Amino acid sequence: MAVIMVDVESDGPIPGDYSMISFGAVIVDDALDKTFYGKLKPISGNWIPDALKVSGYSREETLRFEEAATVMAEFQKWINNNSKSRPLFFSDNNGFDWQFINWYFIHFLKENPFGFSSTNLGSLYKGIEKDMFKNFKHLRKTKHTHNPVDDAMGNAEALLYMKNKLGLKISLK
């Protein structure tokens, strides 16, 4: 199964009423050299300035991004080109990231190549450590910058650490 680490930046708390502004994805393997970066034009007139500020873009900049349907089709093609088997969606905060990716795939392409499930990296680490108060973020090598490719990369590095150093049994093929 192809493990794909994803991170999303948005201008509000939910898809549809607000917009996914950008997202990054990394194929989790030893090379970590296959990445995707999408910047999407807002689909709604609603936006929360403090939420958008996290992305590092202004509203005016986002209005010049690519159409969401185009970016999602490019992402689907990238997933298909980089997955020899069913892709698995992983993220640091899958409750947030998953809702946007799933909604955008279903809304614009009528299907989600990830199916209908996702995995939360933080919960996985808590299970490995058998401690609900443990946090995996110290396992990242790449600094968390709110550039979604950087953030997905750091999370992919943490997952590889869990596999290679902590004995997590996971197939990355």
Residues serving a catalytic function are 146
3-state helix, strand, coil in the chain (%, to 5): 40, 20, 40
Q: Tell me the two tokens of residue 116.
A: 């209908």
Site of tokens 């970066």 = 37
Sequence-distant (6+) residues with CB within 8 A of 106 are 112
Q: CA-to-CA distance for 53 and 49, rounded, in angstroms?
A: 6
Ramachandran category for residue 130: left, alpha or beta (phi over 0 → left; psi -120 to 50 → alpha): left
